[in-house]
């Protein structure tokens, strides 16, 4: 019998839970690429306590996925978990800690039992400033703040994700259109994009996928922490210069991550979600 060329109508989850080996590759599971296929899967959200990561948690719960939120601030973690339906039934789990610490991610995997997808939205703009004003220590901190979480996620994904599982990273459009004073944070974000492609090639034989979303301006607490940007009016004014006339919403940003998680044929890609800003 030939392999079906179309996806099944009913959402299914990958049946292979054990970590596969590259030496005995099995076919990539074929299932519907719609986000509804994420029903019954489990996603670890590193940075899931705010902004895009939290919005991803809401969307994943909406489609029936279980989530494990990981964040450093215990208060923010509790508040985020309380916003998601399903905490009482064990469909929303929490791990407090730094996503750059592999033990924290291992705890998240252990707590969940089975994990199909990892989304990393941890990271900010540490180390911004003109290069001449940066110290060697400041540069190291800027690189570490994003790359440690990325590599910790990469290592746990490589060790523990099942066939059909996915890892999704975050980047930003300034990687393609740099602004002055951003050498350190953008170098780290660019490295994450390279890691995405290199790891995708490495994990493809064992049918695990790696992608990234390159975000434009998204209205999240991260943006609102910028000087003068802590009001709706300021966000609206800044968005007015945008091709589509506004910032993106966290839900719009998170839905790009769900697309990458759900589509079994997406790997090694950096998907831009910027409302056309890069073209303007
Ligand atoms: N918003 C935008 O316009 C935009 C544009 C381009 C790129 N991005 C990128 O998209 C990602 C998400 O941005 P966002 O706007 O959603 O940011 P956000 O609202 O600040 O949320 C980031 C989350 O990550 C957590 N976090 C940070 N460092 C962590 C670590 N080491 N370990 C575990 N959790 C950590 C934070 O909680 P704790 O501090 O409590 O840990 C917070 O919950 C970031 O990587 C950002 O650089 C955003």
Q: What is the pLDDT of residues 157-212, one digit of tens each?
A: 999 999 999 999 999 999 999 999 999 999 999 999 999 999 999 999 999 999 99
223 lines ligand 1 (CB under 6 A): yes
How many angstroms does the Cα of residue 52 sit away from the middle of ligand 1?
8
How many angstroms does the Cα of residue 170 sit away from the middle of ligand 1?
9
- The pLDDT of residue 168: 99
Check pLDDT > 90 for residue 16: no
169 lines ligand 1 (CB under 6 A): no
Average pLDDT over residues 142-161: 96
44 lines ligand 1 (CB under 6 A): no
Q: Is 14 or 238 the better-scoring residue by pLDDT?
A: 238
> Which sign, positive or negative, has the C-alpha torsion 107, 112, 113, 119?
negative
Which residue in 263, 264, 260 sits closest to 273, CA to CA? 260
Check pLDDT > 80 for residue 265: yes
Which residue is closest in CA terms to ligand 1's atom 17?
222
All domains of the chain, ordered by start, with CATH?
A: 35-275 (3.40.50.720)
**112 CB neighbour count, 10 Å cutoff:** 18
Which residue is closest in CA terms to ligand 1's atom 6?
172
Check pLDDT > 90 for residue 148: yes
Helix, strand and coil content of the chain, in percent to the nearest 5, comes to: 45, 15, 45
53 lines ligand 1 (CB under 6 A): yes
Check pLDDT > 80 for residue 6: no
* Residue whose CB lies within 8 A of the most ligand 1 atoms, among 46, 56, 124, 256, for a mutation test: 124
Which residue is closest in CA terms to ligand 1's atom 25?
47
How many angstroms does the Cα of residue 253 sit away from the middle of ligand 1?
12
Percent pLDDT > 90 in the chain is 86
- The pLDDT of residue 30: 86
Check pLDDT > 90 for residue 3: no
Which residue in 218, 213, 111, 203 sits closest to 166, CA to CA? 203
Confidence bin at 33 (pLDDT 50/70/90):
very high
- Judge whether 99 and 105 are in contact, CB under 8 Å: yes
Check pLDDT > 90 for residue 11: no
- The pLDDT of residue 57: 98
Q: Is 95 or 20 the better-scoring residue by pLDDT?
A: 95
How many angstroms does the Cα of residue 12 sit away from the middle of ligand 1?
31
- pLDDT tens-digit profile of 80-108? 999 999 998 999 999 999 999 999 999 99
Q: Ligand 1: which atom is nearest the Cα of residue 250?
A: 16
76 lines ligand 1 (CB under 6 A): yes
How many angstroms does the Cα of residue 32 sit away from the middle of ligand 1?
30
- The pLDDT of residue 14: 41
The whole-chain average pLDDT of the chain stands at: 91
Task: Record the pTM.
Answer: 0.93
- The pLDDT of residue 41: 98
- pLDDT tens-digit profile of 108-143? 999 999 999 999 999 888 889 999 999 999 999 999
């Amino acid at each position: 019998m030939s392999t079906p060329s179309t996806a099944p109508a009913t959402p299914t989850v990958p049946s292979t839970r054990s970590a596969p080996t590259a030496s005995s590759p099995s076919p990539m599971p074929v299932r519907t690429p719609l986000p509804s296929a994420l029903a019954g899967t489990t996603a670890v959200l590193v940075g899931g306590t705010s902004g895009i990561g939290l919005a991803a948690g809401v969307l994943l719960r909406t489609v029936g996925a279980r989530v494990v939120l990981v964040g450093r601030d215990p208060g923010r973690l509790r508040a985020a978990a309380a916003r998601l339906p399903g905490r009482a039934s064990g469909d929303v789990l929490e791990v407090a800690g730094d996503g750059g610490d592999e033990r924290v991610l291992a705890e998240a995997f252990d707590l969940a039992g089975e994990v199909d997808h990892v989304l990393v939205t941890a990271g900010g703009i540490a180390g911004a400033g003109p290069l001449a004003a940066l110290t060697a220590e400041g540069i190291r901190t800027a690189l570490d703040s994003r790359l440690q979480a990325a590599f910790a996620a990469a290592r746990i994904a490589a060790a523990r994700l099942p066939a059909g599982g996915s890892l999704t990273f975050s980047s930003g459009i300034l990687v393609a259109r740099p602004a002055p004073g951003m050498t350190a944070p953008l170098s780290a974000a660019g490295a994450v994009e390279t890691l995405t492609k290199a790891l995708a090639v490495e994990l493809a034989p064992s049918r695990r996928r790696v992608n990234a979303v390159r975000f434009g301006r998204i209205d999240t607490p991260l943006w609102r922490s910028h000087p003068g940007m802590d009001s709706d009016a300021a966000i609206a004014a800044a968005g007015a210069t945008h091709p589509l006339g506004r910032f993106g919403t966290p839900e719009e940003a998170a839905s790009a991550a769900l697309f990458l998680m759900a589509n079994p044929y997406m790997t090694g890609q950096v998907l831009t979600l910027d409302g056309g800003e890069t073209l303007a």
